[in-house]
Amino acid sequence: SVRPWDSNSDGAEIPDFFFFALQVDIHIMTQPPSGEWVYFDTEIANSSGRVSYMIPEQRRLGIGVYPVKMVVRGDHTYADSYITVLPRGTEFVVFSIDGSFAASVSIMGSDPKVRAGAVDVVRHWQELGYLNIYVTGRPDMQKQRVVAWLERLLFPHGIVSFCDGLVHDPLRHKANFLKSLVTDVSRIRSGFKQTQSGWARSPSKRL
């Protein structure tokens, strides 16, 4: 089955290979969860191993969650990801992972405890019918570790936003991501972060 965990990264890492000038074939499962992989295009990975691709208008996808597989020509190493297509006007709730769900700053090298009530807060909004979006200032190279941590603690499924690699200002990344959501999707119903006195809720934002 397709699990709608996703990243907002423009590209994905192709592991254990020298990336520069490598050709990467982009395949999308256009009829998930058991449909065939459809070849879309071939792009050149940059020196960081990332691939950027814009789906052409004539091949635009309908509303849903679509598995993506990027395969390196030659040794056939690959990276898996997902594309989530939302209807305009989707209402969603945003949760900050860093210092909110996790009791420590970094998930790398440790297994931080989850803050009391965190899972219940997310489940409450999911039961009301809102889409959950998790935002983190961590680099996308930690994607598997962070997603596994969320799943193991039974956080409801949602979209996860990571930084594109290591950045000097993760808070600015979060702010820019939220601005893009308001522009593209139309409405943030609410946002949450953990404070010393409890859970802090931000007001909704509508265009």
User: What 3 state SS string does 74-94 have?
Assistant: CCCCEEEEEEEECCCCCEEEE
Q: What is the pTM of this model?
A: 0.66
Instruction: Give the start-to-end residue ranges of the domains of the chain.
Output: 19-85, 88-191
pLDDT per residue over 31-60, tens digit each? 998 889 999 999 998 877 778 899 999 999
**Percent of the chain at pLDDT above 70?**
70
pLDDT per residue over 115-166, tens digit each? 778 889 899 989 998 888 888 877 777 778 888 888 888 999 888 888 776 6
Is the domain defined by 88-191 classed in CATH 3.40.50.1000? yes
Q: Report the sign of the C-alpha dihedral through residues 68, 55, 129, 192, in that order.
A: positive
- The pLDDT of 24-35, averaged and rounded, is 92
Contacts by 195-200 with C-beta closer than 8 Å and gap 24+?
Answer: 199/117, 199/121
Q: Report the sign of the C-alpha dihedral through residues 24, 25, 28, 34, in that order.
A: negative
